[in-house]
Amino acid sequence: MTQGPPSPAEGGGNAPSLWTDARLAADLLAADPQGFGGALVRAPPGPVRERWLEILRAALPPKTPWRRLPSGIGDDALLGGLDLAATLAAGRAIARAGLLAEADGGIVVVPMAERLAPGTASRLAAALDTGSASERPARFGLILLDEGEGDETVAEPLADRLAFRIDLSGIGFAETRADPPAPEPGPECPDPVGDLCALAEAFGVASLRGPILAARVARRLAGDRPINRQDIVTAARLVLAPRATRLPAPEEPAPESQAPPEEPRAEPPPDEGPEPAAGTPDDVVLEAVQAAIPPNLLDQLLAGGQRLTAAKAGRVGQAAASRTGRPIGSRRGDPRRGRLDLLGTLRAAAPWQAIRRAERETRRIVVRRDDLRIRILRQRTETTTVFCVDASGSAALERLAEAKGAVELLLAEAYVRRDRVALVAFRGTGAELVLPPTRSLTRAKRGLSGLPGGGGTPLAAGIDAAVAVALGVRRGGSRPAIVLLTDGRANVSRSGEGGRARAGAEALQAARTLRAAGLPAVVVDTGSRGEEARAVADAMGARYLKLPRTEARQLSAAVRAAL
Q: Which residue has the higher pLDDT, 299 or 413?
A: 413
503, 536 in Cβ contact below 8 A?
Answer: no
**47-59 and 15-31 helices cross at what angle (nearest 10)?**
30
**pLDDT tens digit sequence for 490-517:** 989 988 888 889 999 999 999 999 998 8
Query: Which pLDDT score is estimated for 394?
Result: 60
Give the model's confidence band at 87: pLDDT under 50 very low, under 70 low, under 90 confident, else very high: confident
239 three-state secondary structure: helix
Range in 321-325, 462-466, 498-502, 522-526 with the lowest mean pLDDT = 321-325
Query: Which pLDDT score is estimated for 304?
Result: 53
DSSP string, 261-315: PSSPPPPPPTTSPPPPPTT---HHHHHHHHHTS-HHHHHHHHHTPPPPPPPPPS-
Range in 227-231, 371-375, 411-415 with the lowest mean pLDDT = 411-415
**pLDDT tens digit sequence for 128-160:** 999 998 888 999 999 999 887 655 678 888 999
Strands 420-427 and 543-546: unpaired
- Which residues neighbour 278 within 8 Å (Cβ) at sequence distance 6 or greater? none
**pLDDT tens digit sequence for 235-289:** 888 998 888 887 776 555 545 545 455 554 545 444 444 444 444 566 667 776 7
182 three-state secondary structure: coil
The segment with the largest mean pLDDT, out of 66-80, 456-470, 476-490, is: 456-470
| Beta strand spans in 298-396 (E) | 317-320, 326-332, 373-380, 383-390
Indicate the helix (H) or strand (E) that contains 508. helix 500-516
Task: For residue 126, give the amino acid letter.
Answer: A
